[in-house]
Chain A
Amino acid sequence: MMSYSEILPQLFDTLKPFTKQGFRLKEQTELVAELGLDSLQVMQVLLKIEDHFDISIPLNNLPNIRTVKDLGEEIEKLLKG
């Protein structure tokens, strides 16, 4: 079972292509506000993350995911089942 600390670097790698050049991702980075993602790009990011970790993130949980840390914790929870 993957822990949060193992998930985080993989999450940074998956998110990197969606950041502007030189942007440094942190745990507290706000996904929509700081990365400037529109709704279509958010969907693309989620699909990529879901395939990478082989999970499905329920739409019900999205309102609680604001930061990279929130997303990492959600992935950890889903991997635990």
Chain B
Amino acid sequence: MSLFDKFLPIQEARNELLKSGVNPFHITVEKIISPTEAIFNGRKTILVGTNNYLGLTFHPDSILAGQQALAQEGTGTTGSRMANGSFASHKELEKAIADFYGAPYAIVFSTGYQANLGVLSALAGPGDTILIDGDSHASIYDGCRLGGAEIIRFKHNDVTDLEKRLRRLGDRSYRTLIVVEGIYSMLGDRAPLAEIVEVKKRHGATLIVDEAHSLGVLGQHGRGLAEETGVEQDVDCIVGTFSKSLGSTGGFGISFHPEFELIRYTSRPYIFTASPCPSVVASTRATIRVIQAHPELRQQLWTNSRHLYEGLTKSGYILGAEVGPIIAAMIPNKELALAMWQQLLENGIYVNLMIPPATPNGECLLRCSVSAAHTQKQIEKIISAFADLSHVTQTSISPAHVQPDATLN
């Protein structure tokens, strides 16, 4: 038995997928055309699975800022900020994201994944407890593990279960970090943040909100669920990413606590990695200015989201959550979901195929993420492509494949 034998089940699963002609988890974008279009298999395709919520990846200001930084500051920083020093632009980006949130302290990380690793592992260590929502993103689970705190999961969005677990902790609740997400990435549902804040206050715990999918999407200024709910002052830390609404890469943490600034001296994912490259930093700063200057982008995103949501509902799809930019059609089993995903791709529509174990409750999902850059015509094409799938659901899958308990497998 070699180290590599453990990959055999993965190889078998991959081979099964390849039998169907396309591997949905290793697909190549042959050419990206715009925030909403790309070439797949030689075919022009509408992208509705990119998390490019505000459609800003090709914004001229962001491109120009990136080009100028590339020419003036070079291709990379070749090391960490602790060892090589911070570029002035790193500090300017930290000031820009802090100002955006109206918070005094911000730390920038090289990716969104590392932002969760960096902040969570530094905040909660041995002797501390972290209470995480059961549907948390992998970066939250990994960040908790890295810190060495005791990790307890509560039922997804269930404030009663959360409070029960805080009560069980007794005095230890004062050394407990609660972690929730603004919008959950798979189904698109939101944390009941007002109630969570109340529970957190009652038990003296600390609360962190991951606004990765809600930055640029929720709140009057696009700051996320905490702004939308009116509880920003009661949230201890916010983490987020530059790689969705802000269209670049990197992540950040912000806080009103002065001690937050000290995280950069203890956080391994901050210290032991190369700092963000200058062009990415410059593009991100430019895009923050764009979203501050153009709130109408958010309005357009919501108009588009309502359009797609209503269209899919009319076609009879069961959707994962209320209206929002993440619209997940729930499909009874893997085989059907794969057949539908492929048919959509052949019809020029790219969505995310999501299957267990990456999904909550063993769901199979055709996950759409809407963009402000989608045109009305594109949304209509997406709706029409989903409506045309009825023949796939009726003919492509034999009844033997549709098990009543298929979602458990």
Which chain A residues have a beta carbon within 8 Å of chain B's beta carbons?
38-41, 43, 47, 54-60
A38 nearest in chain B by CB position: B408
**Residues in B neighbouring A57, C-beta threshold 8 A:** 152
> Is B409 an interface residue, CB under 8 A from the partner?
yes
CA distance A40 to B168 in the complex (A): 24
Which chain B residues have a beta carbon within 8 Å of chain A's beta carbons?
129, 134, 145, 150-153, 155, 165, 168-169, 356-357, 361-362, 408-409
Since A43-B134, A54-B168 are in contact, a sample of 6 more A-B pairs with Cβ atoms closer than 8 Å, ordered by chain A residue number, is: A38-B409, A40-B361, A41-B408, A56-B165, A58-B129, A60-B151
For A38, A47, A59, which residue has the most chain B Cβ atoms within 10 angstroms?
A59
Q: Are A56 and B152 in contact (CB under 8 A)?
A: yes
CA distance A60 to B356 in the complex (A): 22
**Residues in B neighbouring A59, C-beta threshold 8 A:** 151-153
Q: Are A58 and B150 in contact (CB under 8 A)?
A: yes
B407 nearest in chain A by CB position: A40
Interface of B is mostly: mixed
**Residues in B neighbouring A41, C-beta threshold 8 A:** 408
Q: Are B151 and A58 in contact (CB under 8 A)?
A: yes
Q: B129: shortest Cβ distance to chain A, in Å? A: 8
**Residues in B neighbouring A58, C-beta threshold 8 A:** 129, 150-152
**Residues in B neighbouring A47, C-beta threshold 8 A:** 155
**Residues in A neighbouring B152, C-beta threshold 8 A:** 56-59
Q: Are A39 and B150 in contact (CB under 8 A)?
A: no
Assuming the contacts A56-B165, A56-B168, asked whether A40 and B408 have C-beta atoms less than 8 A apart, the reply is: yes
**Residues in B neighbouring A55, C-beta threshold 8 A:** 168
Which are the 4 A-B pairs with shortest beta-carbon distances? A59-B151, A58-B150, A56-B152, A40-B362
Assuming the contacts A38-B408, A38-B409, A43-B134, asked whether A60 and B168 have C-beta atoms less than 8 A apart, the reply is: no
Q: A63: shortest Cβ distance to chain B, in Å? A: 11
**Residues in A neighbouring B153, C-beta threshold 8 A:** 59
Q: Are A39 and B151 in contact (CB under 8 A)?
A: no
